[in-house]
Amino acid sequence: MTVLRVALDLPLHRLFDYTIDSATPADVGLRVRVPFGRGERIGVVVEVSENSDWPLAQIKPAIEILRDIAPLPAEFFALCNFASTYYQAPLGEVIMQGLPVGLKRLDPPLRRQARPTRPTLAARAPELTDEQSAALAAIDLAGGFSAHLLHGVTGSGKTEVYLRLIARALGDGKQVLLLVPEINLTPQLEGRVRARFTEASVVSLHSELAEAARERNWRAAFAGEADIVLGTRLAIFTPLPRLGLIVIDEEHDQSFKQQDGMRYSARDVGVFRAHQGNIPILLGSATPALESWANAQNKRYALLTLKERANPEATLPAVKLLDTRKMALKEGVSEALIAAIKERLARGEQSLVFLNRRGYAPVLACMACGWVSRCTRCAANMVLHLADRRLRCHHCGFEHRVPKACPTCGNQDIHPFGRGTQRLESWLQEEFPEARILRVDRDSVKNRKQWEVMLERIHGGEADILVGTQMLAKGHDFPKLTLVGALGADAALFAADWRAPERLFAQLMQVAGRAGRAELKGEVLIQTQYPDHPLYAALVAHDYPGFAATLLKEREQAGFPPYTFQAMLRAEAPEMADSIAFLKAAADLPVIAGHQNVMIYDPIPMKLSRLASLERGQLLAESPSRPALQAFLPRWREAIEGLRSPSKLRWHIEVDPLEF
Ligand SMILES: [Zn+2]
Ligand SMILES: [Zn+2]
């Protein structure tokens, strides 16, 4: 009798033993069908053993070891073990979330044959700039592990550096993993990869793929048949037998951090994976995450810089601040911006008005009694969407019809307050009746197809004015776009979240980068009441390094990451008192006394304290030493698991939290 130690997708920090008539160590890494509770589950064999901590008679027999694919390799388990330990996530969850859904189902769907991709004519590679050549020369694909941060201004041709590097890796017979933040927003990149490497097998892995396609692509990657795997964060765990290079584009992007379920950073796991596999990793961005920038400053990453735009005709846009304290505003838009849009219309060029708030207005209110449209399930306002006359909570998705009168006092005169993209769009249409206006946000673009149609319309010159959120900020080239106006940016300057300025700078820099990508010169106008703020001064000067240096100094003085290491314990329950009491108990656990180097703060309600009818609290654990925090967390977690809590209370630990 042999014992299988099996990983199951359960929120428990343990493996499960099953017996089987015969199995060998070669079966480690295979999937297995096992009884669980009253049903069955698919798990993964992590260990084959002769004995168990349980009496053999009490262990249930496994049903069947599945042999339709090769066993998952040792490196996959090593990567999952690292992520499990580092993020305090159950090993079973980590292992199982690395597999496509189809391989976890008891009744696998019928597999269709892979469709052969049409061979097309390979796109010619453009000439490299001196900076691009220097960056490429600095990366040695055969030299083992190295981490590189490619800091390139918008339009400097970071993608071309990726493509050349990928070509070299393919030439060496290696597989390449290329991660992007949101594949649906970057069809241009996928198109360029496929056009350049027509001989190679390119597969994508992201959550919007149909289940069967995702499984097919995963299998091709796992079998070593796919040469290039283009994916979002979930692709980072894909086993790749010939992996020789990892590239992470827009490495600062928050979507690399998974914020629910298993909370991990695909970028950080990527760096570990490159180290483990002894291969290079390239992180690229125009506005690197401060953590990455600090790693480049202290030489843990090699810094590669592209200061010039790749197209010598395209210079960086001129960034100007419009001091709205001294200007008349019409619906929040200054005369200067209106005049600038008029000029573009007259010249047949495109303008983009950036406002990172979708909907018509952020809130509907009654002036008579003070009623505002609050979400009944969250500590947030319901956003007014006039297009379909709905009030919608952007946090929990709850929505209902716009009331005809104030629900509290019956007053029929209720008003929208503040403005979102829909309101801006309709006002611009009144102001410029002859202009063709396109709004681009998550309400107007819900999927990849709509996004591709939208991009085609923009490229085809079917729009004179674009109104949009940060969706428009991602790396797109719009040759006729010469003006970017930014509204409402000040809100993030004084946000309670100390990461807000870093994000605002990145966002404005990215959206500003849309202007003047080709021969036409670009101009960026930012409306602000704080024109003397150092963040804006850095934007005007296109000075990311200066801005990063200032922020890092502030963080060092304040004792924030990357100068300190954090983990957040969060609890949610129907009553805030229960959440806070649980966190208080966690803060008082005796195990804490044994870890002098770790500081535990007081429990507090989260900023969005109520979400989907649950009251949420959090407790910060912090240490100046990463190893000290890592030594503390498993012991703390085990002690927390022993705490009594109300049945409806849920808790989790997030390591390196990004949101507070
Ligand atoms: Zn009222
Ligand atoms: Zn809500």
Contact 338, 330 (CB under 8 A): yes
* DSSP helix, strand, coil percent of the chain (3-state; round to 5): 35, 25, 40
Closest ligand by atom to 374 CA: 2
pLDDT-derived band at 127 (thresholds 50, 70, 90) equals: very high
Least confident window among 233-247, 332-346, 376-390, 504-518: 504-518
> Is the residue at 15 inside a domain?
yes
Same domain? For 79 and 220 the reply is: no
Same domain? For 428 and 503 the reply is: yes
pLDDT, tens digit, for every residue of 348-384?
999 999 999 999 999 999 999 999 999 999 999 999 9
Give the Å distance between the CA of 417 and the centre of ligand 1.
14
Residue 566 has pLDDT above 80, yes or no: yes
> Is the residue at 236 inside a domain?
yes
* Residue 479, pLDDT score: 86
Is 495 in a helix, a strand, or coil?
Answer: coil
* Residue 168, pLDDT score: 97
pLDDT, tens digit, for every residue of 317-352?
999 999 999 999 999 999 999 999 999 999 999 999
Residue 660 has pLDDT above 80, yes or no: no
Give the Å distance between the CA of 12 and the centre of ligand 2.
29
Closest ligand by atom to 368 CA: 1
Same domain? For 544 and 609 the reply is: no
Give the Å distance between the CA of 576 and the centre of ligand 1.
28
Same domain? For 187 and 286 the reply is: yes
* Residue 189, pLDDT score: 85
Closest ligand by atom to 412 CA: 1
pLDDT, tens digit, for every residue of 418-433?
999 999 999 999 999 9
Residue-number span of the structural domain to which 336 is assigned: 318-359+420-554
> Is the residue at 586 inside a domain?
yes
Give the Å distance between the CA of 390 and the centre of ligand 2.
14
Contact 190, 204 (CB under 8 A): yes
Closest ligand by atom to 613 CA: 2
Average pLDDT, the chain: 93
> Is the residue at 162 inside a domain?
yes
Domain with 97 in it: what CATH number? 3.40.1440.60
pLDDT, tens digit, for every residue of 142-201?
999 999 999 999 889 999 999 999 999 999 999 999 999 987 767 778 889 999 999 999
pLDDT-derived band at 235 (thresholds 50, 70, 90) equals: very high
The pLDDT of 558-566, averaged and rounded, is 95
DSSP H helical ranges for 185-242: 187-196, 211-222
Give the Å distance between the CA of 372 and the centre of ligand 1.
8
Closest ligand by atom to 376 CA: 2
Question: Percentage of the chain surpassing pLDDT 90?
Answer: 83
Q: What is the 3-state secondary structure (H, E, C) of 358-401?
A: CCCECEEEECCCCCECECCCCCCECEEECCCCEEECCCCCCEEE
> CB-based contacts of 35: which residues, under 8 Å, 6+ apart?
60, 61, 63
Nearest Cα to Cα of residue 206 among 196, 218, 194, 197 = 218
* Residue 90, pLDDT score: 96
Give the Å distance between the CA of 374 and the centre of ligand 1.
13
Give the Å distance between the CA of 399 and the centre of ligand 2.
8
Same domain? For 467 and 352 the reply is: yes
DSSP H helical ranges for 324-370: 335-347
pLDDT, tens digit, for every residue of 88-121?
999 999 999 999 999 999 886 656 555 545 556 7
Examine the fold and report which residue of 507, 528, 554 is the final residue of a domain before the chain moves on: 554
- Report the domain count for the chain: 4
Give the Å distance between the CA of 404 and the centre of ligand 1.
11
Give the Å distance between the CA of 380 and the centre of ligand 2.
6
In whole angstroms, what is the distance from residue 354 CA to residue 562 CA? 30
Give the Å distance between the CA of 364 and the centre of ligand 1.
11
Give the Å distance between the CA of 193 and the centre of ligand 2.
40
CB atoms within 10 A of CB 367: 12
Give the Å distance between the CA of 413 and the centre of ligand 1.
8
Closest ligand by atom to 403 CA: 1
Residue 568 has pLDDT above 90, yes or no: yes
Closest ligand by atom to 364 CA: 1
Residues whose Cβ atom is located within 5 A of ion ligand 1: 366, 368-369, 371, 406, 408-409, 411
Give the Å distance between the CA of 402 and the centre of ligand 1.
14
Give the Å distance between the CA of 473 and the centre of ligand 1.
39
Same domain? For 328 and 477 the reply is: yes
pLDDT, tens digit, for every residue of 23-42?
999 999 999 999 999 999 99
Closest ligand by atom to 397 CA: 2
Nearest Cα to Cα of residue 152 among 129, 126, 168, 170 = 129
* Residue 314, pLDDT score: 82
pLDDT, tens digit, for every residue of 467-479?
999 888 876 778 8
pLDDT, tens digit, for every residue of 602-658?
999 998 999 999 999 999 999 999 999 999 999 999 999 999 999 999 999 999 999
The pLDDT of 583-590, averaged and rounded, is 97
DSSP H helical ranges for 412-520: 421-431, 448-459, 500-512
Give the Å distance between the CA of 547 and the centre of ligand 2.
35
Domain with 202 in it: what CATH number? 3.40.50.300
Domain with 630 in it: what CATH number? 3.30.70.360
Give the Å distance between the CA of 501 and the centre of ligand 2.
26
